[in-house]
Each structure stands twice: as structure tokens, then as C-alpha cells.
Amino acid sequence: MMMIFNMWFGMLVMYLVGNLIFVSKYKHLLIVLLSLEFIVLSIFFFMIILLSMIEFDMYMLMVFLVFSVCEGALGLSILVSLIRTHGNDYFQNFNML
């Protein structure tokens, strides 16, 4: 029982650290994308623990992984296009007006 609590607490700490980095380091797009991927990874581990505890099928994890990979590829393509057009990944240069 204590091991399950430690795993839940670890996933909660991972999620909160990812959110803290996402909120505090908003200057570069690359850091924001890495923090989002860290949040997705913590949610994935949380879903593994939850689905194994209730002895449910793991098909939802495959769907979640597909969507997280698509999100990562989309973020990297936005990062590459931003660097090609503006020369860096600062949000301050990304003004539409």
C-alpha cells in the first residue's frame, strides 16, 4: 500500500513540476514544449498505474501515446517554422500586430 502511495505522490510531483516550469519559463518556445511533454509523460505514468490497479485494458494508453506524439511533432514543426522566420524562439518576437 505504501508503494502505491509513493508512486501516486511521484506522479503528482512530476505533474506539479511540469506545470511550474510551464508557468515560470515562458520566454522560449522550446522550454515550453519540453515542459508540456514532461506533463504528458507524468499523465502517461499516472494512467499506467491507474489502469493496472483496476486491471483494465491498456488500449487507451496507445491512443494517448498517439495523440501525445502528434502533439510533439506539431510543436516541433511550429518551433522550426518560428526559428526559420524569426531567427530565434523568443515569444517577444512573435508579435502578430
d(CA 2, CA 69): 33
Q: Tally the domains of the chain.
A: 1
Q: What CATH number is attached to the domain comprising 12? A: 1.10.287
Q: Which domain holds residue 22?
A: 2-86
In a domain, 97, yes or no: no
In a domain, 42, yes or no: yes
Q: At what angle do helices 59-86 and 29-53 cross, to 10 degrees?
A: 180
The pTM score is: 0.83
| CA-closest candidate to residue 35, choices 71, 81, 88, 77 | 71
In a domain, 81, yes or no: yes
Q: What is the pLDDT along the chain (97 residues), one digit of tens a residue?
A: 677 778 888 888 989 998 998 888 778 888 889 999 999 999 998 898 888 888 888 888 999 999 999 999 999 998 898 888 888 888 776 665 4
In a domain, 8, yes or no: yes
In a domain, 95, yes or no: no
